Amino acid sequence: NAGVTQTPKFRVLKTGQSMTLLCAQDMNHEYMYWYRQDPGMGLRLIHYSVGEGTTAKGEVPDGYNVSRLKKQNFLLGLESAAPSQTSVYFCASSYSGVAFFGQGTRLTVV
Amino acid sequence: TQLLEQSPQFLSIQEGENLTVYCNSSSVFSSLQWYRQEPGEGPVLLVTVVTGGEVKKLKRLTFQFGDARKDSSLHITAAQPGDTGLYLCAGPLYNTDKLIFGTGTRLQVFP
């Protein structure tokens, strides 16, 4: 069982470039989430999904878009990366309110 | 502004000491969870508390959910170096699907 898998694990972007982070889960969970983690800030919710074809905004959604075309995948897109989006990004899926996390993607925007 | 505030933000103690970490909110949560995160890894669930006033024990860790379901605490007895890590509280906002995390408490236990 792979659980929650994030790709890529590391990425460096130039300001203005775009990219997509992929999250895949094999636990058949309905709920999926994208968080960012900055030093001293805990985890902040970017967007989430309560099922295939649905998405909703979290606490810090600006500058990000998401899609949930298939139940097992949740994609996070940055259309025009900014240095303020330098962070570690975590994807999670949940069942009965309990979240299972991927290992994170460290993104640096220069 | 974070909906779940944790205190203290940092804690550095000697092995054998006791400590308490607090998680507070002005919002009601249907349940609260505690996670521990180690460097380079995602958070891992320690416990879920569901009922107001509930107390759960997990070996040397004691978790409590406030009566009004707005706060929680984590008490560690006789801390060990293996307890070192980032402790996060989290919960689904009442009547929503948003799983919100606290600001985190970084614990370092020295031998």
Query: Digits of tens for pLDDT over chain A (110 positions)?
Result: 679 999 999 999 999 999 999 999 999 999 999 999 997 678 999 999 999 999 999 989 999 999 999 999 999 999 999 999 999 999 999 987 789 999 999 999 99
Q: Which residues touch B39 (CB under 8 Å, ≥6 apart)?
A: none
Task: Mark yes or no for CB contact B98/A58 under 8 Å.
Answer: yes
State whether residue A98 sits within 8 Å of chain B by CB.
Answer: yes
Per-residue 3-state assignment (H helix, E strand, C coil) for A49-110? ECCCCCCEECCCCCCCEEECCCCCEEEEEECCCCHHHCEEEEEEEEECCEEEECCCEEEEEC
Return mean pLDDT, chain B: 92
Task: Give pLDDT, residue A96.
Answer: 79
Tokens read off for A28:
């058949």
Residues 41-100 of B with CB under 8 A from A: 41-45, 48, 88, 90-92, 97-100
> How far is A104 from A107, CA to CA, in rounded Å?
9
Contacts of B92 in chain A (CB under 8 A): 97
Do the beta carbons of residue B105 and residue B39 sit within 8 Å?
no
Q: Is the pLDDT of residue B108 over 90?
A: yes
Element (H, E) at A19: strand A19-25
The model's pLDDT over B59-92, given as tens digits with 9 standing for 90+, comes to 999 999 999 999 999 999 999 999 999 999 999 8
Dmax (CA) for chain A in angstroms is: 39
